[in-house]
Amino acid sequence: MAPDLESNPTLPKEANTQTPIIDHNDTPKSQQPSIINEKPTVTRGYDLPFWHKSIILFIVSWMTLAVTFNSTSLLPATPEIATRFNTTEEILNVINAGVLLAMGFSSLIWGPMSRLVGRRISYNIAVLVLCGCSAGTAAAINLPMFTAFRILGGLTGTSFMVMGQTILADIYEPVVRGTAVGFFMVGTVAGPAIGPCFGGIIVTFASWRIIFWVQVAMTGFGLILSLIFVPEIPSADAKIITTATTTNTTPPTMKETTLRILAAFNPIHIVRLFIYPNIFLACLTCGFLSTFQYAILTSARSIFNPRFHLTTALVSGLFYLAPGAGFLVGSILGGRLSDRTVRNYIKKRNGTRLPQDRLNSGLGTLFFVLPAAALVYGWTLQEEKGGMVVPIIAAFFGGVGLMGTFNGLNTYAAVC
């Protein structure tokens, strides 16, 4: 098992359930990296005022909204984009799958980057890259250019989700962290829902390129807020380039620095986490949940349109409001249920808190709500039963079950 970072056997009351945070500013100034002193820092994330935490929560949630909007907003515009580039819808679906694959590999880039230059700088660079790639996609003159910028933008994908949750773990105490993650995941789940809806509206009345210019505006707005309000928060991740021990004040040579950089990008550092069964199974479950999520999101125009004789992207785009509403409700309720479950187990153990306690909050949605919704949704569409209302309702409850399960898994994985 991976180390349980939330464990604390001597917690007499809820207020004392905070995980101790090492204050890296105890290091003498002569030994502190100058790069840290040149940017906004705080000594302890838990001590930030409520308004500042709320703004940070909004920013990290907004950026997950932007990146998920980027991955799904063009789904209703697929026929129009295919016509513009003289290709087929199947090719564009393959490109979109490539974007999702690139998102999966993004942790191999931005995880090491955050340890090299700090999480704040790494986060802002990722936002800037996504903004630039969105502009490049909007201005694409041929299919190769369109594909290149889409894939490059996808390489920033999960960085916002991973670094966002890590930032929240640094500023929110464990007993309220699930609620914060619930609101954070509103952005994650709202993007796949409102992206196709807005994409359908845009492509009905204007060019599909406007979709990507909207993404440029969203990421630019997020970058401005991040530069102003997100500080560098000390955490257990030391800066690799500047990790010379306090007993050795000799500056590293160019060769040593180069070797440290190369070692930081070694994928083994990330892959080896899967040797822990709890982390592997949590990630595997999240993968299955994501498969179900995108199965619903990609089925609208290819299944709903011919099944119910829908003819425009605008009408089919409205379908996404059903699972989107379910995502929203499930995310918020799942967060509160996750924190409530943690508190209950703390009381049962007389103050001891374990990270895996919050996984119990998603058992009902994982084994009952989600399978039932998936069965009803698939069966009614295949057998053409229940009209349009039943699969829409099933999609809503599928969204609730999906995010009710996701919340506990994501919060657990962030602290393991």
Residue 241: phi, psi to the nearest 5?
A: -65, -30
Q: How high is the mean pLDDT of the chain?
A: 79
Say how many C-beta atoms besides its own lie within 10 A of residue 102's C-beta.
20
Q: What is the mean pLDDT of residues 200-223?
A: 92
pLDDT digits (tens, 9 = 90+) for 5-31: 444 433 433 334 443 433 333 444 334
Please state the pTM of the whole predicted model: 0.70
Are the C-beta atoms of residues 1 and 354 closer than 8 Å to each other? no
Q: Where are the domains of the chain?
A: 41-241+266-415
* Cα dihedral: 320, 321, 323, 328 (round 10): 140
Homologous superfamily of 41-241+266-415 = MFS general substrate transporter like domains (1.20.1250.20)
Residue 84: phi, psi to the nearest 5?
A: -65, -40
Predicted pLDDT of residue 290: 83
Give the closest residue to 121 by CA, choosing from 254, 233, 262, 263: 233
**Polymer length in residues for the chain:** 416
Are the C-beta atoms of residues 180 and 59 closer than 8 Å to each other? no
Cβ within 8 Å of residue 156, ≥6 positions away: 67, 106, 110, 126, 127, 129, 130, 133
Give the integer Cα–Cα distance in Å for 307 and 200: 18
pLDDT digits (tens, 9 = 90+) for 337-382: 888 888 888 888 888 888 888 888 888 899 999 999 999 998 988 8
| CA geometry: angle 181, 45, 114, nearest 5 deg | 75
153 burial via Cβ count (<10 Å: 0-12, 13-18, 19+): buried
In sequence order, the β-bridge partners of residue 232 are 41
DSSP structure string for 314-328:
HHHHHTTHHHHHHHH
Predicted pLDDT of residue 21: 38
Q: What is the mean pLDDT of residues 211-219?
A: 94
Q: What is the mean pLDDT of residues 69-90?
A: 86
pLDDT digits (tens, 9 = 90+) for 294-336: 788 777 667 777 777 777 767 777 777 888 888 888 888 888 8
3-state secondary structure of 232: strand
Give the integer Cα–Cα distance in Å for 219 and 129: 9
Give the integer Cα–Cα distance in Å for 49 and 293: 35
Predicted pLDDT of residue 214: 94
Give the integer Cα–Cα distance in Å for 369 and 394: 10
